[in-house]
């Protein structure tokens, strides 16, 4: 089976996440896209929502799509949060499948990936989704630093550039703005009903 891997803190999962995951799945001919929530990033501030809250929102958001699934391997007690440690575990778990890791261009060029060679060794392909604020030439410059056999595994997806982000969602909540239609309906209702992100300041509006 051809599987896609889509990781992140999902704090919270939003509509741009879902669009990129589904559009990448279709463009690459993947049979399933597996979401890989992580406890947090080594290069960003800790997530605001708890692991349980982020998991609940993610499960509800992906439930309507039969091609979406969730793997919580990066939430285990011994998980390091590094893709170089996670990919060998996933390779062992899905040993008979072809694995394609899908990431945003910002994640690839702005974060210092540890042991990127190990990440690529355990994948069949590595797909990059464009971001509006990241110039394509920055990704091309990074690809030029890779060995030819590594570069052959990389591709840039031909997708419409997405502007939505979890940072935008949290900023809207902090200012008391509406996040409806920035996030899936389930996520919007979950945040309203459970008071997630209340610590940011103003309450979100139902509008």
Reported as a single tens digit per residue, the pLDDT across 139-153 is: 677 777 788 888 899
Task: Evaluate whether 15 touches 85 at the Cβ level (below 8 Å).
Answer: no
Record the pTM.
0.90
| Ranges of each domain in the chain | 2-162
Angle of CA points 111, 46, 204, to nearest 5° = 115
At 109 the pLDDT is: 56
At 204 the pLDDT is: 42
**Structure letter (DSSP) for residue 41:** -
Q: What average pLDDT does this structure show over 122-149?
A: 76
DSSP structure string for 84-150? HHHHHHHHHHTTTSEEEEEEEHHHHHHS--TTHHHHHHT-SEEEEE-BTTS-HHHHHHHHHTS-HHH
What are 154's strand-pairing partners?
Answer: 126
| Selected residue with higher pLDDT from 108 and 172 | 172
At 6 the pLDDT is: 96
Angle of CA points 165, 143, 15, to nearest 5° = 15
At 146 the pLDDT is: 80
Reply yes or no on whether the pLDDT at 206 is more than 80.
Answer: no
Q: What digits encode the pLDDT tens for the residues 159-187? A: 887 778 899 999 999 999 999 999 999 99
**Whole-number Å distance between alpha carbons of 182 and 16:** 8
| CATH code for the structural domain at 2-162 | 3.40.50.620
Categorize the per-residue pLDDT at 197 as very low, low, confident or very high, splitting at 50, 70 and 90.
very high
At 138 the pLDDT is: 64
Question: Average per-residue pLDDT in the chain?
Answer: 88
Q: What average pLDDT does this structure show over 99-125?
A: 82
| Selected residue with higher pLDDT from 99 and 111 | 99
At 43 the pLDDT is: 67
At 105 the pLDDT is: 65
Reply yes or no on whether the pLDDT at 54 is more than 50.
Answer: yes
Categorize the per-residue pLDDT at 25 as very low, low, confident or very high, splitting at 50, 70 and 90.
very high
At 202 the pLDDT is: 54
Site of tokens 């060998």: 88
At 150 the pLDDT is: 85
């Amino acid at each position: 089976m051809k599987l896609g891997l889509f990781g992140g803190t999902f704090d919270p999962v939003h509509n741009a996440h879902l669009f990129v995951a589904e559009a990448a799945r279709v463009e690459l001919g993947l049979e399933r896209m597996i979401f890989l929530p992580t406890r947090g990033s080594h290069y960003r501030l800790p997530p605001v929502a708890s692991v349980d809250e982020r998991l609940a929102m993610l499960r509800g958001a992906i439930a309507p799509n039969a091609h979406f699934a969730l793997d919580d391997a990066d939430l285990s007690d011994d998980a390091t949060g590094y893709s170089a440690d996670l990919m060998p575990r996933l390779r062992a778990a899905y040993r008979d499948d072809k694995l394609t890791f899908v990431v945003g261009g910002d994640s690839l060029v702005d974060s210092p990936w540890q042991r990127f060679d190990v990440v690529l060794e355990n994948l069949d392909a590595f797909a990059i989704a464009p971001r509006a604020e990241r110039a394509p030439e920055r990704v091309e410059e990074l690809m030029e630093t890779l060995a030819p056999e590594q570069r052959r595994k990389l591709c840039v997806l031909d997708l419409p550039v997405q502007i939505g982000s979890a940072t935008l969602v949290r900023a809207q909540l902090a200012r008391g703005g509406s996040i409806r239609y920035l996030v899936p309906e389930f996520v919007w209702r979950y945040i309203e009903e459970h008071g997630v992100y209340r610590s940011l300041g103003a309450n979100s509006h139902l509008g």
